[in-house]
Amino acid sequence: MQERDQRKRKAVEYLGSKCADCGYQTEFLTVYDFHHKEERTGKKEISYLITANVGWEKLQRELDKCILLCANCHRIRHELEHKNIPYSGLSCVSGEGNMGEQSPATGASLP
């Protein structure tokens, strides 16, 4: 196994080894992405830090600002960010294709 893969595995394990949104777990590390919880604060690409030869503790500090997502959920998050829709618990395995249950009018029912 390449050193880079080992570092990613360690990072994935650090964040719980499963997708924070849908709970998806797999041994295939390529499925996992690191998503910054706060988009604008000191954003550094985790994938860059994993590839670059930074110390684990520095990497860990960035990981503390991130959640682990599978590729599907990561795309959904970015789609929502792109459209300025607040994340409200959508996930890629919310039932068996009952996407229609969640209204696209996000927040409409909130007081």
- Judged by CB under 5 A, the residue of 12, 66, 70, 76 near Zn ion is 70
What is d(CA 3, CA 103) in angstroms, rounded to the nearest whole number?
A: 44
Residues facing residue 68 across a β-bridge = 34
Tally Cβ neighbours within 10 Å of residue 46: 21
What is d(CA 34, CA 19) in angstroms, rounded to the nearest whole number?
A: 10
Residue numbers 73-92 binding Zn ion by CB under 5 A: 73, 92
Contact segment (CB under 5 A) with Zn ion among 9-17, 46-54, 65-73, 95-103 equals: 65-73
Residue numbers 13-32 binding Zn ion by CB under 5 A: 19, 21-22, 24
Give the nearer residue to Zn ion in terms of CB position, either 98 or 109.
98
Give the nearer residue to Zn ion in terms of CB position, either 29 or 92.
92
CA-based nearest residue to 9, from 71, 75, 58, 59 = 59
Which parts of this chain interact with Zn ion (CB under 5 A)?
19, 21-22, 24, 70, 73, 92
